[in-house]
Amino acid sequence: MNITHAKTKEVLKWFEEITKIPRCSKHEEKIAAWLIDWAKQNNFSYKMDDIKNLVIQVPGSKGYENAGPVIIQGHLDMVCEKTPDSTHDFSKDPIKLVYDGEWLTADKTTLGADNGIAIAMAMAMSLDKDLAHPPLELLFTVDEETGLTGATKLSPDLLKGRILINVDSEDEGVFTVGCAGGMNTYTTIPVKTESIPAGYKACNLVAGGMKGGHSGIDIAMGKANAIKILTRVLFKLVKEVDVRVADIKGGSAHNAIPRDASAVVFLAADAVKKATDIVLESSKICNSEFQKTDPQLAITLEETTASVNQVLTAASTKNLINYLYAVPHGVAAMSPDIEGLVETSNNLANISMKDGSIHVLTSQRSSVVTRLQAHTNRIEATAELAGGSARSGDGYPPWQPNMKSPLLAKSTALYEKMFNKKPIVEVIHAGLECGIIGDKYPGMDMISIGPDLRNPHSPDEKVHIGAVGMVYDFIEALLKELK
């Protein structure tokens, strides 16, 4: 790949180094240690708070030494997703990068440009001798992807600056000035089991091949949720044949729309053929419904050998399926104030079976605090109706937009001057750390930007190479004006 933009080459050089270091959510210790070594090598001071958020302090360039600090912010962790056939081990294997024309992607895994590009960009800027800038505070938070943990527990005395540029947005030319709040709910549904009925055969029911994606940004696209697709088939099966669930699993992270789900089921020998026909017909229907968003969607039923001796009773099987059918997924309400903005949604994110219970994770989002709580109440009520229990986390608040922000005004005027077009100013249906940081640091003036990033939180994640350079050039020019 021949990259002519010198600053883009420098950013991608650092990004390639970052992709060699394991950094799944809650396992950021190696990337943090690497960054601390880098800071020491360049005589930059650094601080960490109790939760291990890292701030690296870069002195201002000549003439900017006494300017107020500017915070460049991103997060250390990444969503670790891979295709079913990938043998990648995120705990030790480097991400395999693929340069594909104008885009950079990875081989069968998430790329980690969300948010490794922010780290790489901050590093490149810190060492750029041509860049005129105030003192910089490079703020790298931990565990952003599983619930904004680092920002939530950010020490209120870690930062000095009151201007923050978050580099965790996904569209070049778009300035994000507000975001949704969120809350996760953990549901437990107890089940009753019994011995496998005589003559029943084990079968593996699989719903796979779906695109997945970000549970906030992509929720309005109507992409298929593998757990919901699996549930539709199970619901049809339980109406037509005697089917018993022995195991069920699907999904991964709270903020990733599930791409794959499966269940081990037991069927009477003479019902396997009818069940196979039902699955085939269901696959055709779902393929037709989701042809545009998930063209590779596939549902299969195959006989298998299962190392289990218990199955859910008929009543527990039906109760589980009814619960999964009833629990909501997708857009719940659109904003009445901002055209095209999802106000409230839910992601049916993960399901597993262990210790005699079904465990389900859902992730709710809303730009209205009361509606976030109301939708969470609905999730909890659905669990109770199924005889289960639900526990919801504390969540995080929305970032309310400040359309009179001095930083926004300066950024908008500068972007139009540089690129001869107006930037888009928007509020997004996803979680950003800005709202939480703003609560901890009153008076913080913030904006979120970033290069074009597609299909985050899925193995199709990719970043536009040219946009990396455009964002770098813009931040470089903006820093010059923040004297």
Overall residue count recorded for the chain in this entry = 483
Report CA Rg, the chain: 24
CA 392 vs CA 148, 185, 199, 350, 360: distances in Å: 15, 4, 42, 15, 12
The β-bridge partners of 302 are: 204
Residue by residue, DSSP assigns 329-353 as: -EEEEE-SSSTT-EEEEEEEEEEEE
Burial of residue 455, with CB atoms counted within 10 A of its CB: 0-12 exposed, 13-18 middle, 19 or more buried:
buried
The β-bridge partners of 445 are: 163
Q: Are 447 and 177 in contact (CB under 8 A)?
A: yes
Q: Find out whether the peptide bond into 402 is cis, omega within 30 degrees of 0.
A: no
Which are the contacts of 347, defined by CB distance < 8 A and separation ≥ 6?
A: 215, 219, 225, 254, 255, 256, 257, 329, 362, 363, 364, 365
User: Which residue of the set 28, 49, 77, 168 is catalytic?
Assistant: 77
Biggest alpha carbon distance in the chain? 83
User: Which residue of the set 144, 145, 172, 426 is catalytic?
Assistant: 144
Task: Please give the span between the terminal C-alpha atoms of the chain, in angstroms, as a whole number.
Answer: 37
77 is an active site residue? yes
SS3 sequence, 141-166?
ECCCCCCCHHHHCCCCCCCCCCEEEE
144 is an active site residue? yes
* Catalytic site positions: 77, 144
